[in-house]
Amino acid sequence: MKKPKLLLLVLFQNLKDADPYYARTPAPPLPGILLAGMTPPIVEVEVLHEMVRPIDYETDADFIAISFMDYLSPHAYDVAERFRKLGKPVIGGGKFATTHPDEVQPHFDSILVGEAQNVWPQMVRDLVAGTLKPRYTAEPMPSLEDIPPPRYDLVEKTFTVPVVTEASRGCPHPCTYCQLNINRLPYRMRPVADVIRDLRATQTLPWYRRKMAMILDNNLGGNLQNAKALLKEVAKLDFWGIGTQFSIECLRDNEFVDLLAKAQCRMAFLGMESLSDKSLAGVKKRQNKVREYKESFDKLHRRGILTFTGLMFALDEDTNEYYESLPERLDEVGTCVILPSISIPIYGTPWYQQVIREDRLVDPDISHYEGDHLVFRHNHLSDDEIYAAYKRVNRIFYSWSNIIRRWWRFMKKQTRQEPPILFLRRLFLTSFIYFKLSIFQRHHAQHRVFPALSSRSNSGEGERSETMTRAA
């Protein structure tokens, strides 16, 4: 007998069916394929990442599950409503459903609150049996042992790097804007053997799609001893390149940096966020020291590891003078690629509570909380000053001449420590990753940052925001 079919929808970036934006990142987010791996074999599973293909409302799937973040919730509710009108039961889950279940629940037949590993299999069995309950709540800190590997075979071919996994959850730092600090949990690690098993569970992929991987932790370096033990094991695998993410102070540990290189790490995402110590202190990100950036980034570059760094605008201590000098200072510290965004007071974070306490929230439309909108009143800068700086840094950093110049600067730091063929492979791979990331960010600037800002000034929205700012 044919199994019923479950469609796992992962929403990301595309905010509306009527006005889609497809953010084609090189690797898929983890939740969809991770959930697929945990799904009992009583259903057939399809995973659809909306960032690379539109939602198929004509799908032959019997059941729908939707994973989404806070700013995507209005879109997720619309999608759920459309499927429910077609008579298909819809489950909601993800970080926002976990932190704000009472708001999310009315829009779905059922929601999953918390981490899925011990709850999801029963939810699927109830779904198939027609006995689904409105809410399934996981225990606060379920074990991270024996989580099944993600279903890499279900990743769309559009993604260059289908192999993604995680080695830990949480982060030890108190950054006030971070979602992890809504209902803070201790930093937890998965067993190294489980992570290695995931990275090897790629037999269903063609050989050339098994050669790169991403470890998508919030902070791989939350426990450096564990991270080092993992990297030693990853070094024994046959990867051409891996990417990962960790907090910037981990780079003080030279053994960690060496092990990253031995594990064929070719890209590190770092939460740099600001080149102002005062602004960093304002969001309790004191582990970052601006004076250390250049040397820390250089350590990675010399070992053939690209730096991809977050950069936040509209932090409370930012000034116009700081914004004015930012392009030059970014050049001085030498980061390869930046991910610029406007600071977001995510619902429930300490930063959100501060903005509410100080009566500075001016835009409650949660679909604007994606990093390209200013939704609160800054302490001393106008909306227009912040938007102008955001646009200017995007424009200068992602001009073609600067993209090429940074690539050449990185290439000049490369020295050969391996056989010539492997050295050439490293140069080729880092160039490929560098241009892929730079073009992706340039595309984002052209399709999200600049049009949004020009429509804002054409429609006089800037003026309205200023008026609201002054009135409030």
Residue 371 near ligand SF4 by CB under 6 A: no
β-bridge mates for residue 65, sequence order:
8, 91
Nearer Cβ to ligand SF4 (171/234): 171
Nearer Cβ to ligand SF4 (29/162): 29
Number of residues this chain uses to bind ligand SF4 (CB under 6 A): 9
| 264 conformational bin, left if phi > 0, alpha if psi -120 to 50, beta if neither | left
**Contacts to ligand SF4 from residues 211-270, by CB under 6 A:** 218-219, 247
Nearer Cβ to ligand SF4 (90/215): 215
Q: Of the candidates 123, 175, 259, 389, which one interacts with ligand SF4 according to CB under 6 A?
A: 175
Query: Which one of the spans 86-94, 169-177, 364-372, 387-395 is the region binding ligand SF4 (CB under 6 A)?
Result: 169-177
Residue 72 near ligand SF4 by CB under 6 A: no
CB of 222 within 8 A of CB of 185? no
Q: Of the candidates 32, 149, 271, 340, which one interacts with ligand SF4 according to CB under 6 A?
A: 271
Question: Position of tokens 């098994």?
Answer: 210
CB of 260 within 8 A of CB of 303? yes
Nearer Cβ to ligand SF4 (147/270): 270
Nearer Cβ to ligand SF4 (110/349): 349
Nearer Cβ to ligand SF4 (171/433): 171
Strand bridging mode 168-169 / 188-189: antiparallel
Q: Of the candidates 75, 107, 151, 173, which one interacts with ligand SF4 according to CB under 6 A?
A: 173
Nearer Cβ to ligand SF4 (109/115): 115
| 113 conformational bin, left if phi > 0, alpha if psi -120 to 50, beta if neither | beta
In the complex, the smallest distance separating the C-beta of residue 179 from ligand SF4, rounded to whole angstroms, is: 7
Cα maximum dimension of the chain:
69
Residue 304 near ligand SF4 by CB under 6 A: no
Residue 315 near ligand SF4 by CB under 6 A: no
- Strand runs labelled E in 217-329: 241-246, 265-273, 306-313
- Strand runs labelled E in 257-314: 265-273, 306-313
418 CB burial (10 A radius; 0-12, 13-18, 19+): exposed
Nearer Cβ to ligand SF4 (50/70): 70
Q: Of the candidates 178, 199, 272, 315, which one interacts with ligand SF4 according to CB under 6 A?
A: 178
Nearer Cβ to ligand SF4 (123/251): 251
**Contacts to ligand SF4 from residues 127-166, by CB under 6 A:** none
In the complex, the smallest distance separating the C-beta of residue 214 from ligand SF4, rounded to whole angstroms, is: 16
In the complex, the smallest distance separating the C-beta of residue 349 from ligand SF4, rounded to whole angstroms, is: 10
Q: How far apart are CA 268 and CA 53, in angstroms?
A: 27
Query: Which one of the spans 8-16, 172-180, 362-370, 420-428 is the region binding ligand SF4 (CB under 6 A)?
Result: 172-180
Alpha helices in 181-253 (DSSP H): 192-200, 224-234
| 460 conformational bin, left if phi > 0, alpha if psi -120 to 50, beta if neither | left
In the complex, the smallest distance separating the C-beta of residue 310 from ligand SF4, rounded to whole angstroms, is: 8
The H-or-E segment that residue 85 falls in is helix 73-85
Nearer Cβ to ligand SF4 (47/257): 257
Question: Nearest Cα to 127, choosing from 2, 6, 1?
Answer: 6
In the complex, the smallest distance separating the C-beta of residue 30 from ligand SF4, rounded to whole angstroms, is: 15
In the complex, the smallest distance separating the C-beta of residue 102 from ligand SF4, rounded to whole angstroms, is: 25
Distance of CA 94 to the CA centre of its chain: 13
Q: Of the candidates 7, 163, 171, 433, which one interacts with ligand SF4 according to CB under 6 A?
A: 171
Residues 6 or more apart in contact with residue 182 via CB below 8 angstroms: 99, 346, 348, 349
Residues 6 or more apart in contact with residue 290 via CB below 8 angstroms: 274, 275, 276, 277, 280, 333
Query: Which one of the spans 17-25, 174-182, 254-262, 341-349 is the region binding ligand SF4 (CB under 6 A)?
Result: 174-182
Taking the CA atoms of the chain, what radius of gyration do you get in angstroms?
22
Per the structure block, which two tokens stand in for 168? 């830990």
Q: Which parts of this chain interact with ligand SF4 (CB under 6 A)? A: 171, 173, 175, 178, 180, 218-219, 247, 271
